């Protein structure tokens, strides 16, 4: 039995589609479905919150997980990253008000709002800049507009949220996409089953 930790929604749908194309299992769920565990044949899926996927994998509750690179970096767990799945592409950026793009770089007591405090702290540490990190859980773009912060560290995908709120990306910290991750013990004990999935996914991504 191989157990996956996935996040519900588009990402899980994509993985179900890939496993179906490989003839490994055939799962279909709709918006009304409230199950958190789905089992079929040799596969079991936990539908977790995206930021919790590395926790399930690190603790060995799940063998494999699919999660964004942003969460992998932020959570910094002892797990193996096996494959870049190529979808969910976006960037982790420092963003600031468009009329005042650069002044955050020279602030002594910089205030940075973000959902990713570890990533933000590591970035400003690496730049040698002192920063107070303000953790938010969403709508991070609100922070500079309301003067809660001077800038933000956040995900930029289409750039629409920034544009519609008078902000711009100044620097890209990380390029992001969905990744297949694996528990370190499972990689040894279930090597053959895991290889089958990884090789299959790799083949599909080549098409």
Residues at the site binding ligand PRP, with contacts judged by CB under 6 A? 115, 138-141, 154-161
For ligand PRP, give the closer residue by CB, 43 or 123: 123
Asked if residues 151 and 141 have their Cβ atoms less than 8 Å apart, the reply is: no
Min dist. Cβ of residue 32 to ligand PRP (A): 22
Query: In whole angstroms, how far apart are CA 36 and each of 9, 41, 90?
Result: 12, 17, 27
For ligand PRP, give the closer residue by CB, 160 or 207: 160
For ligand PRP, give the closer residue by CB, 63 or 75: 75
Query: In whole angstroms, how far apart are CA 30 and each of 8, 34, 35, 147, 195?
Result: 11, 9, 10, 41, 29
Min dist. Cβ of residue 129 to ligand PRP (A): 22
Min dist. Cβ of residue 163 to ligand PRP (A): 8
Instruction: Classify 131 as helix, strand or coil.
Output: strand
For ligand PRP, give the closer residue by CB, 129 or 161: 161
Min dist. Cβ of residue 122 to ligand PRP (A): 18
Asked if residues 70 and 116 have their Cβ atoms less than 8 Å apart, the reply is: yes
Q: How far apart are CA 50 and CA 72, in angstroms?
A: 10
Tell me which residue of 68, 72, 64 sits closest to 24, measured CA to CA: 64
Close Cβ partners of 132 (under 8 Å, ≥ 6 residues apart): 109, 110, 111, 112
Min dist. Cβ of residue 63 to ligand PRP (A): 27
For ligand PRP, give the closer residue by CB, 30 or 164: 164
For ligand PRP, give the closer residue by CB, 82 or 90: 90
Q: CA-based angle 37:41:45, to the nearest 5?
A: 25
The tokens describing 83, both together, are 């494959």
Min dist. Cβ of residue 59 to ligand PRP (A): 25
């Amino acid at each position: 039995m191989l157990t996956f930790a996935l996040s519900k929604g588009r990402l899980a749908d994509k993985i179900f589609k890939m496993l179906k194309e490989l003839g490994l299992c055939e799962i279909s769920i709709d918006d009304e479905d409230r199950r958190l565990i789905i089992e079929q044949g040799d596969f079991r899926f936990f539908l977790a919150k995206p930021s919790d996927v590395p926790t399930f994998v690190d603790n060995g509750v799940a063998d494999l997980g699919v999660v964004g690179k942003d969460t992998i970096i932020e959570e910094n767990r002892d797990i193996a990253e096996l494959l870049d799945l190529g979808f969910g592409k976006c960037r982790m950026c420092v963003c600031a008000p468009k009329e005042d793009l650069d002044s955050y770089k020279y602030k002594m007591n910089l205030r940075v709002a973000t959902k990713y405090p570890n990533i933000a702290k590591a970035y400003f540490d690496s730049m040698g800049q002192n920063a107070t990190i303000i953790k938010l859980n969403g709508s991070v773009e609100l922070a500079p507009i309301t003067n809660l912060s001077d800038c933000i560290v956040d995900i930029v995908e289409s750039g629409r949220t920034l544009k519609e709120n008078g902000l711009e990306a100044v620097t890209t910290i990380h390029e992001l996409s969905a990744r297949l991750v694996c528990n370190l013990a499972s990689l040894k004990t279930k090597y053959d089953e895991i290889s089958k999935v990884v090789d299959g996914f790799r083949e599909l991504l080549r098409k």
